[in-house]
């Protein structure tokens, strides 16, 4: 075995940013792949014939493309479920929800069948790692499992929908904006309910989610707004930081909310705001 490449540590790609989005690039070590010498084909014998088959480096390029198409925010390029840390919940009970969420995501990313799985809605106050976990999952699903994913910020999405209505020359139409989000096998909507979310913007998001629901496609989401009643009779979040008096139902409407809980399990996160406190070492 050769020593793993210094630049990529042997994974075959490096992570960086392009503008506001995370960007993966095949590592230079893949240019002259040692299996195919850069031809992207390998030859093997089938009976007495020699046949050409795509080299495994081809799937690496495809996975890098999936990562780039997922539109993960640049600051979250290298988040992983393992880099989500928490204190021992036996010693620090307030970290219990973080430990449970991490265990759940660990299992979820390994066993997920994108065609036949339930989604997750992460509910919690600012800075507890909701976007971290969503991006970690997209990172894993694209680069490790070759599943097409897409990340969108709710506020940005409603803003872009509004711009198509205002007739601003963005080159986008409602269909060009929504269609890829309907079709992608795994969609993550971050910060659900944030911003103005006028009723017609919500109607469009309702259609998006209903179409995914009808097609049985996976939906992940995060939100600061706690549901009025958590499904399963669980108590609402113990700490509601900030002035979020509204419930998730009020923010996104009962119709959309009821779709959401049919498609996804609610997972609550509670704890300190990691943007304020430096992540404590365990
Ligand atoms: N448990 C954790 N372990 C490691 N890093 C964490 C953890 N929780 C949060 N962070 C880091 O803290 C920062 C803020 O977390 P993140 O953006 O995921 O919060 P959030 O829950 O999405 O907040 P908001 O509701 O404001 O969007 C990120 O850099 C994230 O990687
Ligand atoms: Mg967030
Ligand atoms: Zn390399
Ligand atoms: Zn190759």
| Nearest atom in ligand 1 to 128's CA | 21
pLDDT of residue 18: 93
Question: Is 196 contained in some domain?
Answer: yes
Question: Is 275 contained in some domain?
Answer: no
Query: Pairing relation of β-strands 218-223 and 119-123?
Result: parallel
Question: Is 1 contained in some domain?
Answer: no
pLDDT of residue 237: 53
Q: What element of type H or E holds 234?
A: none
State the ligand closest to the CA atom of 242.
1
Q: What is the pLDDT along the chain (282 residues), one digit of tens a residue?
A: 567 889 999 899 999 999 999 999 999 888 888 888 888 889 888 888 989 988 888 889 999 999 999 999 999 999 999 999 999 999 998 899 999 999 999 999 998 887 778 999 999 999 999 999 999 999 999 999 999 999 999 999 988 888 887 766 677 888 889 999 999 999 999 999 888 778 888 888 899 999 999 999 999 999 999 888 665 545 455 445 444 578 888 888 888 999 999 999 999 998 888 888 765 444
> How many whole angstroms from 235 Cα to the centroid of ligand 2?
22
Asked if residues 150 and 186 have their Cβ atoms less than 8 Å apart, the reply is: yes
Asked if residues 207 and 255 have their Cβ atoms less than 8 Å apart, the reply is: no
List of E strands, the chain: 13-18, 21-26, 41-46, 49-54, 119-123, 149-153, 186-190, 218-223, 264-268
Asked if residues 22 and 76 have their Cβ atoms less than 8 Å apart, the reply is: yes
pLDDT of residue 279: 53
Length, in residues, of the chain: 282
Bridge partner residues of 49 (DSSP): 46
- C-beta of 3 in contact with ligand 1 (< 6 A): no
Same domain assignment for residues 27 and 157: no
Residue nearest to atom 5 of ligand 1 (CA): 84
Pair of tokens at residue 129: 């790692």
Instruction: List, in order, residues 6 or more apart from 21 with CB less than 8 Å away.
Output: 68, 71, 72, 73, 74
pLDDT of residue 195: 81
Question: Is 221 contained in some domain?
Answer: yes
Euclidean distance between the first and final Cα of the chain, in Å?
A: 35
Asked if residues 198 and 168 have their Cβ atoms less than 8 Å apart, the reply is: no
Task: For ligand 1, pick from 77, 131, 269 the residue to mutate: most ligand atoms within 8 Å of CB.
Answer: 131
Question: Is 261 contained in some domain?
Answer: yes
Domain of 263, CATH number, reads 3.40.50.300
The residue among 22, 40, 66 that closes a domain is: 66
pTM: predicted TM-score of the whole model, two decimal places: 0.90
Sign of the CA dihedral with 168 first, then 173, 178, and 181 last: negative
Domain span including residue 96 = 75-268
Sign of the CA dihedral with 231 first, then 153, 160, and 62 last: negative
Bridge partner residues of 248 (DSSP): none
The span from the CA of 129 to the CA of 127, in Å, is: 6
Question: Is 8 contained in some domain?
Answer: no
Question: Is 5 contained in some domain?
Answer: no
Q: What is the DSSP letter of 28?
A: G
Residue with tokens 């919940």: 89
Same domain assignment for residues 42 and 109: no
Same domain assignment for residues 189 and 218: yes
Same domain assignment for residues 43 and 79: no
Same domain assignment for residues 40 and 107: no
Report how many domains make up the chain.
2
Same domain assignment for residues 31 and 120: no
Asked if residues 142 and 148 have their Cβ atoms less than 8 Å apart, the reply is: yes
The span from the CA of 202 to the CA of 197, in Å, is: 6
Question: Is 258 contained in some domain?
Answer: yes
């Amino acid at each position: 075995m050769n020593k793993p490449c210094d630049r990529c540590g042997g994974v075959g790609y490096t992570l960086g940013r392009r503008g506001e989005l995370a960007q993966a690039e095949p590592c230079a070590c893949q240019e002259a792949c040692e299996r195919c010498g850069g031809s992207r084909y390998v030859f093997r014998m089938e009976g007495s014939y020699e046949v050409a088959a795509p080299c495994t480096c081809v799937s690496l390029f495809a996975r890098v493309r999936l990562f780039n198409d997922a539109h993960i925010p640049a600051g979250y390029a290298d988040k992983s479920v393992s880099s989500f840390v928490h204190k021992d919940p036996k010693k620090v009970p307030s970290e219990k929800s973080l430990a449970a969420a991490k265990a759940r995501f660990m299992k979820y990313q390994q066993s997920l069948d994108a065609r036949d799985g339930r989604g997750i809605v992460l509910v919690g106050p600012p800075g507890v790692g909701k976007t971290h976990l969503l991006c970690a999952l997209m990172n894993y699903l694209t680069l490790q499992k070759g599943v097409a994913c897409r990340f969108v910020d709710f506020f940005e999405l409603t803003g872009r929908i509004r711009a198509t209505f205002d007739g601003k020359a963005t080159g986008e139409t409602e269909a060009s904006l929504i269609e890829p989000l309907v079709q992608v096998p795994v969609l993550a909507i971050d910060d659900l309910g944030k911003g103005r979310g006028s009723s017609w913007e919500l109607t469009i998001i309702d259609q998006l989610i209903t179409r995914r629901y009808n097609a049985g496609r996976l939906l992940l989401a995060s939100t600061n707004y706690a549901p009025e009643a958590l499904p399963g009779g669980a108590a609402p979040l113990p700490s509601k930081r900030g002035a979020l008096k509204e419930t998730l139902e009020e923010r996104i409407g009962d119709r959309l909310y009821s779709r959401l809980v049919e498609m996804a399990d609610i997972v609550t996160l509670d704890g300190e705001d990691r943007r304020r406190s430096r992540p404590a070492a365990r």
